[in-house]
Amino acid sequence: MPLQHGLLALLVSLLWGFNFVVTKAGLGEFPPIYFAMLRFALVAILLAPWLKPMKGQMVRLVWIALTAGALHFGLIFLGFSMTDHVGPVAVAVQVNIPFMLLLAVVFLGERIGIYRLAGMVVAFAGVLIVGLDPDAFNDPWAFAMVCAGACFFAVSVILMRAFEGGHPMQVQAWIALFSAPVLLAGTVVLETDQIARTMDVTWLGVIALIYIAVGSTIIGHGSMFYLLQRYPVSLLIPFMIAPPVLGVLFGIWLYDDPITWKIVVGGLMTLGGVAVIQIREALGARRARTVEAL
């Protein structure tokens, strides 16, 4: 991998890792569902040129938008707003990887070997250890919502498996456009004082909103797709695993997150299990390509 592409992959890791503390800062300025709605509204505006119909895919795209957009971020932001800590959320979100594997087995009939099965079990156990630590999540509903939001993203990935065509920016644009009205309805029904808090927002809230829409979403996801088009997943796995680790470190540094043995052990188990799953997935994909080439 050339130096410039390695630096780009590192930039994506940093953008996604720092996104956890930026999101926490934004949730101090806006109600959570409202904040998620603003995020998608801004992304939809910025990616408006990509809003071109995708023949035969629009119905599936609606479901992908609901799971990867409104439900995923709406629930995670709700859970995030109910806890004082950043690192445990960064760990809990990783439950989407083993859950995605479980869904692939149940609904797609995929077969998994002993290594991926072990990785799935260890990752689930690690998330539970973190989630049951009162120093990590003082409100069990916060943990439940973060995990539920992460699992909805796993559902969206399964839906994406049968998705054909479309540039990632085009898909992101439609996800944003479909998600914003759903979240708007959610914030109108469930939250109050949105306008008043918007009028009182500080520069920190504005920067947080721009960061999660432009930095994390458009630049981060766009750059990773660019790299995935050019390099095998196995080469990029370290950069994909780095964001939650960075999120934990940033949380300790900027938010004085607690460091307990449950958080450390659970976090290491979760990230280790996720790493095993992703490495085995990459090796399986490489073997499949080799067989096809023969």
Which pTM value belongs to this model? 0.90
Which pLDDT does position 236 carry in this prediction? 76
Mean pLDDT of 88-106: 90
Could you tell me if 35 and 26 are in contact, meaning their C-beta atoms sit under 8 angstroms apart?
A: yes
- pLDDT tens string 165-182: 677 888 899 999 999 999
Which pLDDT does position 132 carry in this prediction? 85
- Give the integer Cα–Cα distance in Å for 281 and 151: 19
Contacts of 35 (CB under 8 A, 6+ apart): 26, 27, 29, 77, 209
Burial of 290 (0-12, 13-18, 19+ CB in 10 A): exposed
Smallest CA-to-CA distance from 49 within 162, 180, 164, 218 is with 218
Q: Where are the beta strands (DSSP E) in the chain?
A: none
Out of 24-38, 90-104, 274-288, the most confident range is: 24-38
Smallest CA-to-CA distance from 175 within 143, 218, 128, 127 is with 218
- Give the integer Cα–Cα distance in Å for 219 and 19: 12
Could you tell me if 201 and 29 are in contact, meaning their C-beta atoms sit under 8 angstroms apart?
A: yes
- Give the integer Cα–Cα distance in Å for 89 and 62: 27
When pLDDT is cut at 50, 70 and 90, the band that residue 234 belongs to is: low
Which pLDDT does position 21 carry in this prediction? 95
Q: How far is CA 273 from the centre of its chain?
A: 17
Whether the pLDDT of residue 291 is over 70: the answer is no
Least confident residue range of 22-31, 113-122, 179-188, 275-284: 275-284
CA–CA distances in Å: residue 200 to residues 30, 172, 203, 246: 10, 30, 10, 31
Which pLDDT does position 249 carry in this prediction? 92
Domain-by-domain residue ranges, the chain?
A: 3-293
Mean pLDDT of 48-52: 93
When pLDDT is cut at 50, 70 and 90, the band that residue 285 belongs to is: low
Q: For residues 29 and 3, which has the higher predicted lDDT (pLDDT)?
A: 29
Which pLDDT does position 246 carry in this prediction? 92
66 token code pair: 């609901």
- pLDDT tens string 8-47: 999 999 999 999 999 999 999 999 999 999 999 999 999 9
Residue 274 sits at φ, ψ, to 5 deg, of: -65, -40
Could you tell me if 18 and 219 are in contact, meaning their C-beta atoms sit under 8 angstroms apart?
A: no
Q: Where are the beta strands (DSSP E) in 153-267?
A: none
- pLDDT tens string 132-157: 898 888 889 999 999 999 999 999 88
Whether the pLDDT of residue 292 is over 70: the answer is no
Could you tell me if 280 and 110 are in contact, meaning their C-beta atoms sit under 8 angstroms apart?
A: no
CA–CA distances in Å: residue 47 to residues 19, 64, 163, 170, 226: 20, 17, 20, 8, 17
- Give the integer Cα–Cα distance in Å for 127 and 68: 20
- Give the integer Cα–Cα distance in Å for 244 and 242: 6
Which pLDDT does position 57 carry in this prediction? 85
A 10 A CB-CB count for 156 gives 21
- The mean predicted confidence, pLDDT, of the chain is 89
Contacts of 42 (CB under 8 A, 6+ apart): 209, 210, 213, 214
